[in-house]
Amino acid sequence: MALSLRPLHPVFAAEATGVDLAHPLAPTDIAAIQDAMDRHAVLVFPGQDITDQQQIDFTRQLGPLESYPAGGHIRARVDSRLQAGISDFSNLDRDGRIISDQDRIWFFKLGDRLWHSDSSFRPIPASYSLLSGRVLPSWGGNTDFADMRAAYDALDARTKAEVEDLVCRHSLLFSREAIGFTDLTPQEIESFRPVRQRLVRTHPRTGRKSLFLSSHAGEIEGWTVPEARSFLRDLTEHATQPRFMYSHAWRPHDLVIWDNSTTMHRARRFDRNEVRDMRRTTLAGPASTIEQM
């Protein structure tokens, strides 16, 4: 079967069927998925009961995996339940037990409930993220997505001119500070040093412009911090209006792919006494956003 798409929202996001991600895909299928990502930015593949290795293998068909020596979190790699190449976005510790609500790792993970773009705190931010829902809680746990292309298009001309050449500084320090979590070691603070990112990105294939917003963005170069954060909050409120947002209610074995260069997302609350086992692979981004200048 060929890839079949069903729109999930008027401006972006689609359900994708007709392919089995447990097995290698033909080059034509990979090209069709990439074309669909350029149009829809978020693709939901239902009923994909895959292993970690199959998820890694499929991701590699789309491009190289993101790889950095330091993780984008405070959980040490040796404490992961999972193999290299796939990240644990569950509420479980390395022994498969639910993380305590007093654990600093749990506090850190709560930052994922803020609007963000994966790896915007990296010198080269991520391209696609692929998240597989393995075990789901009985309540909550949706993932919300916002289309940053449509949000950019809807800006007035004056604001478009104002944001065109702005450069922000992104760091996990900023997003965790926003939820009141500052219990970081000197080593963690050093590894989370801010990086520069353009506020307006141009997609390398489609040429469409989009806002590059994230809770990780805490400063705008040349602006005072209070004014920068106030402006970034205004832009985020604009960009996450319902007309730009799709909320995904997870079903077992959904695999969702999103393009971090054109969307933001956030996790929603769920019953933390139940298991939510989510596993993510991530594609490396093509280049620094600053190189677009």
Segment 35-55, tens digit of pLDDT: 999 999 999 999 999 999 999
Instruction: Give me the pLDDT at residue 181, please.
Output: 96
Q: Residues 130, 281: contact at Cβ < 8 Å?
A: yes
In which band, very low, low, confident or very high, does the pLDDT at 185 lie, cut at 50, 70 and 90? very high
3-state secondary structure of 218: strand
Give, in degrees to the nearest 5, the angle at Cα 104 between 101 and 106.
50
Cα gap 159→152, rounded to integer Å:
9
Which CATH number belongs to the domain containing residue 18 in this structure?
Answer: 3.60.130.10
**Mean pLDDT, residues 51-66 taken together:** 98
Which residues contact residue 186 at a Cβ distance below 8 angstroms, ignoring those fewer than 6 apart? none
In which band, very low, low, confident or very high, does the pLDDT at 73 lie, cut at 50, 70 and 90? confident
Cα gap 77→34, rounded to integer Å:
30
Read off the tokens for 94: 């390395």
Q: Residues 239, 213: contact at Cβ < 8 Å?
A: yes
In which band, very low, low, confident or very high, does the pLDDT at 71 lie, cut at 50, 70 and 90? low
Range of the domain at 143: 4-292
Domain count, the chain: 1
Cα gap 254→35, rounded to integer Å:
20
Q: Residue 264: which of 281, 278, 248, 245 has the closest Cα?
A: 245
pLDDT at 57 over 90: yes
Cα gap 277→62, rounded to integer Å:
24
Instruction: Give me the pLDDT at residue 68, please.
Output: 81
3-state secondary structure of 172: helix
Handedness of CA 146, 150, 156, 162 (dihedral sign): positive
In this prediction, what percent of the chain has a pLDDT beyond 70?
A: 98
